[in-house]
Amino acid sequence: MVDPQSEQQQNSVEDGSASDGHREEELKAFDETKGGVKGLVDAGISKLPQIFISPTHPSLCASASSLPIPVIDLNHFQQPTTLRKHIIDEVRHASETWGFFQVVNHGIPKHDLDDMIEGVRRFNEQPHHVKKQYYSRDTSKKVRFFSNFDLYQSKAANWRDTILCAMAPHSPNPQEIPSACREITIRYSEHMKKLGVGVLELLSEALGLKPKHLEDMECGKGHTLVSHYYPACPEPDKTMGTAEHSDPDFFTILLQDNIGGLQLLYQSHWLHIHPLEGALVLISNDRFKSARHRVLANLEGPRISVACFFSTHYQPSQLLYGPIKELLSEECPALYKQTRVSDYVAYYNSRGLGHPISALDHYRL
C-alpha cells in the first residue's frame, strides 16, 4: 500500500522528460516531500527522475579495475618498536601514493561496526512521518536528515539519503539524535575519537613531525558522522550514488557494508574498493594526496556507509590552515595560501559534488 506522501512524491518528480527549464521546480518538489530517495523507491518508481540523470554517463565505470589498495594492520601501532616504524612507513607510502588505505585491527569491536550499519538502516527504513521531523537544510543544526547537501548546486542529484550528526567538539543533546540509531551513534563516535587520535599520530610521524603535531593543530578536535543510505536504483547506469569528489576535511574514516560501489581515482584509472570485513577505509601542501573518489549507483541495495569527517567547521574558529611550516624549504616552497576551515568548506559546498577541478586549486599560490 502506497501512502499519500509517496504518491505526491512520485507524481511531482517521476517524469524524466521534463526540460531544463523545469529543473528548479522538480528539485523543489522533490525536496519538499522530505522523503528523500527512499521515498521515491517506496513510491514504486521504475524510471529515473530527470534531476538524477548525470551529464557524465556512469557507464564509463565499466572499465574500472580491481587493484587492491593498501591494507595496514594497526595491531602494534601503540608500541614504540620496529613494528610501529613499519606501520608509519606503510602509512607514508599509502598516503603519498594512494591517498587511501584500509586499516584492520583498529580496536573497534566488529559488533559495534555492524550495529552502526544497522542503526543507519533502521533510521532510513522508518515510516516517512517519523523521518521527516529530522529533515532540514539548516547547516547550523548538529543533527539533520536530508537528501543531497548540494541538491540546488550540483548538475545532477545523487541517488542517496543522508543523516548527519556533528559529534565533536561539542556533542548534541542525546535526545536530538534519532532513537533508531542514538545509542550506537554515541558509542561509535567515541570509537572514532580514540582512533582519530591514533591516526593523527601516525600521519604526523609519517610526515617527519612529532607525534602530537597534527593533534596540537586541532586537526582531530571536531568530527561529524555522515551516514549515507543508497537504495537500489532502477536505472543505475544513468546516475551516481555519490559524484566524483575529494573530501573537504583533514581526513576521513569510512565504514561501509559488504555491497560495494566505492571507487578511487588512481593514476587516471578508477579502481573498485572492495569491502574488507572489519576494515575501515582512510582517505588523507601536496605531500599527501587528497584522493578523488565516487560511489556507483547499484541495482542491489540498500548500500550503507558511515563516514567520519575530522574537521572543525562546526565551531567558530579564526585558526588559519595552510602548508605546514616545518615541512617548507627553498626546495619545497608553499603551494597554497592559508584559509580558515569554515571558509574552505563554504567554498567547497557552493560548487557541489562532481566538479572537475579540485576545490584546493582555488587556494593555490
Question: Does residue 76 sit in the same domain as residue 47?
Answer: no
Question: Does residue 121 sit in the same domain as residue 238?
Answer: yes
Residue 291 and residue 100 in contact, taking contact as beta carbons nearer than 8 Å: yes
Question: Does residue 9 sit in the same domain as residue 136?
Answer: no
Contacting residues for 68 by C-beta, under 8 A, at least 6 apart: 274
The pairs formed by 214-219 with CB atoms below 8 angstroms and a separation of 24 or more are 214/250, 217/319, 217/321, 218/312, 218/317, 218/319, 219/250, 219/251, 219/310
Question: Does residue 133 sit in the same domain as residue 280?
Answer: yes
State residue 60's pLDDT score: 45
State residue 332's pLDDT score: 83
264 found inside a domain = yes
233 found inside a domain = yes
**Which residue has cell 550499519?**
117
Contacting residues for 356 by C-beta, under 8 A, at least 6 apart: none
Domain limits at 120?
69-363
Question: Does residue 206 sit in the same domain as residue 244?
Answer: yes
94 found inside a domain = yes
* Cα distance between residue 343 and residue 22, in whole Å: 32
Helix or strand (DSSP H, E) at 185:
helix 182-206
Count of structural domains within the chain:
2
Rounded average pLDDT per 10-residue block, the chain, 365 residues: 46 48 90 97 95 73 67 84 89 91 95 98 97 95 96 94 96 97 98 96 94 92 96 94 88 93 88 86 69 90 95 73 81 82 78 76 80
57 found inside a domain = no
125 found inside a domain = yes
Q: Burial-class residue 182 by CB neighbours within 10 Å (0-12, 13-18, 19+).
A: middle
State residue 9's pLDDT score: 47
343 found inside a domain = yes
Question: Does residue 36 sit in the same domain as residue 109?
Answer: no
DSSP three-state, residue 324: coil
The pairs formed by 1-7 with CB atoms below 8 angstroms and a separation of 24 or more are 2/42, 2/43, 2/44, 3/42, 3/128, 5/33, 5/35, 5/39, 5/128, 5/129, 6/35, 6/39, 6/42, 6/43, 6/44, 6/128, 7/43
Question: Does residue 47 sit in the same domain as residue 107?
Answer: no
- The domain that holds 87 is classified in CATH as 2.60.120.330
- Taken in order 325, 328, 249, 206, is the CA torsion positive or negative? negative
Contacting residues for 160 by C-beta, under 8 A, at least 6 apart: 37, 147, 148, 228, 229, 230, 241, 242, 295
Task: Give exposure, 321-351, as e/b (b: 16+ Cβ within 10 Å).
Answer: bebbeeeeeeeeeeebeebbbbebbeebbee
Question: Does residue 174 sit in the same domain as residue 214?
Answer: yes
* Cα distance between residue 66 and residue 210, in whole Å: 36
Question: Does residue 47 sit in the same domain as residue 87?
Answer: no
Contacting residues for 46 by C-beta, under 8 A, at least 6 apart: 234
State residue 278's pLDDT score: 85
Question: Does residue 120 sit in the same domain as residue 233?
Answer: yes
* Cα distance between residue 17 and residue 278, in whole Å: 43
Question: Does residue 30 sit in the same domain as residue 179?
Answer: no
258 found inside a domain = yes
Question: Does residue 203 sit in the same domain as residue 263?
Answer: yes
Per-residue DSSP letter, 243:
E
62 found inside a domain = no
